[in-house]
Amino acid sequence: DTAVSQTPKYLVTQMGNDKSIKCEQNLGHDTMYWYKQDSKKFLKIMFSYNNKELIINETVPNRFSPKSPDKAHLNLHINSLELGDSAVYFCASSPIGQGSGANVLTFGAGSRLTVL
């Protein structure tokens, strides 16, 4: 069974479209995250949710809106897609917030978004 699953794995779309990426974890973790990995493999956090509550919201355009219907799901909706949004988006989860240093993230396999 996949611990953190993301769908779709690949997404190709036109500029200006709206798209969503879904993420689900079956680990019983309280905290979920979205990370963006650019073409140079650089990973940066976008959002963090703890029990459906937004904890971290980095400098991300308003076109990106995370939604957490319950603590096992964290979806990412992107409006008016731009070329620069092309990247691999990783969902992750952890048992509690990372501040303790004792907990680690379990990552999904990633969703590769290509905007044409």
Partner 1 sequence: AQSVTQLDSHVSVSEGTPVLLRCNYSSSYSPSLFWYVQHPNKGLQLLLKYTSAATLVKGINGFEAEFKKSETSFHLTKPSAHMSDAAEYFCVVIGSQGNLIFGKGTKLSVKP
Task: Pick one of 22, 45, 77, 95: the residue that binds partner 1 (CB under 8 A).
Answer: 45
Whether 79 contacts 26, CB under 8 Å: no
Whether 96 contacts 28, CB under 8 Å: no
Which of residues 14 and 100 has its CB atom nearest to partner 1 in the complex?
100
Segment 24-43, which members bind partner 1 (CB under 8 A)?
A: 33, 40-43
Task: Pick one of 60, 72, 86, 107: the residue that binds partner 1 (CB under 8 A).
Answer: 107
3-state DSSP assignment of residue 68: strand
Environment class of residue 34 by beta-carbon count within 10 Å: exposed (0-12), middle (13-18) or buried (19+)?
buried
Q: Is residue 48 a contact residue for partner 1 (CB under 8 A)?
A: yes
Q: Is residue 63 a contact residue for partner 1 (CB under 8 A)?
A: no
Q: Is residue 60 a contact residue for partner 1 (CB under 8 A)?
A: no
